[in-house]
Amino acid sequence: MAWNEPGGGSKDPWRGRNDEQGPPDLDEIVRKMQDKFGGLFGGKKGGGGGRGKASPYGMGLIVLIVLAVWAFSGIYIIDPYEQGVVLRFGKYAYTVPPGPHWHIPYPIERVEKVDVDQIRSVDHKAVMLSQDENIVDVQLAVQYRVKDARGYLFNVRDPDLTLRQVAESAIREIVGKSTMDFVLTEGRAEVVADAREVMQQVLDQYGTGLDITAVNLVDAQPPEEVQSAFEDAIRAREDEQRLKNEAEAYANEIIPQARGDAARQIEEANAYRESVIARAEGEASRFLQLLAEYTKAPEVTRQRLYIESMEEVLSNASKVLVDVQGSNNLLYLPLDRIVRQQQGGSSNNGGVVQMVPAPETMSPSVSGMSQRDRDNLRRREVR
């Protein structure tokens, strides 16, 4: 008869128990599970419901698994931008480079990773006193990175705070040794260089493991109350520098030109001197040659000198006197008027030939002269 038909009983084949029975015993379920777990490692069931003794092979397997997990936990990887510092019982042991590594797992050893490629920055702004007892408002920016992970972790308590304090101390020292104008104008680069050098020396003495990569003087200005006056002074200084540059440019332009003119005048003077000397030497040589000829024939030489002189004088004259041998009149030819008439038109007096009386028609004192005296008179008139 089926279990679910009338009279078939109340036994449920899926539950394995009668409906009249109560809920399962929890202790019995736990005991069965313990027995199964102990049997897995070779344990035997004890009499009277007692537990069996565990097998040593099973315990060894558990220990090996635990040791393997503990050993694998010591594997770690250092990134390319990091340095690893291994601590053994809290004390520095060694530093490892980037890459995969293994260390004795916790609690014996542990690893501290430090980013050594990151560029860090700190800004500091403060009011300082300069050497000439003026107040300067300075803003400084410092960029740095970690170069030694061990020193960064162990030598100082707070390396970043130490850097900030060192930066303030260094810039105060540099500004205190400089004048205000020097800090505000041409001395900015020198102030930055000196501050960086002082900061790096102090950080190395402390062993902070920090390396300063850049120091920038972001702003340096007088107090706000007197800033307008200092701006006027700065503009005046800039104008002074501009005028100096313009003057230097003008000097660079005019000085070569003056030197060229001076050299040209010197060359012209030298050429004139050489020409005068050569002309004087030529005249002296000509005179000596003429003197030698005059010594040989004085009369002929005088006549020659007279003729040459007359040729030179008459070549520049515009009037011509013609004396015809045996004629009573001396012809005067106004060549200057004739030339002007040919060039610029006719003239009232152009082309007129003036007749000068001959020596025979002159006064008795003149006509009674000898031929030689008349020749001399003609020469004087020509002159």
List per-residue pLDDT tens for the chain, 383 residues long: 455 555 555 555 545 444 445 555 666 776 766 666 555 555 554 444 445 455 666 677 777 888 888 878 778 888 888 888 888 887 888 888 888 888 778 888 888 888 888 889 888 888 888 888 888 888 889 999 998 888 888 888 899 899 999 999 999 999 988 888 888 878 888 989 999 999 999 999 999 999 999 999 888 888 777 777 777 877 888 899 899 999 999 989 899 999 999 999 999 999 999 999 999 999 899 888 888 888 888 888 888 888 888 888 777 766 666 666 666 665 566 666 776 777 765 444 444 444 444 444 443 334 444 555 555 545 544 44
Q: What is the pLDDT of residue 309?
A: 84
Per-domain boundaries in the chain: 23-70, 73-115, 120-222, 238-316, 317-382
CATH number of 120-222: 3.30.479.30
Total number of residues shown for the chain: 383
Residue 243 CA to residue 247 CA, distance in Å, equals: 6
Terminal C-alpha separation, the chain? 190
> Could you give the CA distance from residue 330 to residue 360 in angstroms, rounded to a whole number?
11
Predicted pLDDT of residue 328? 63
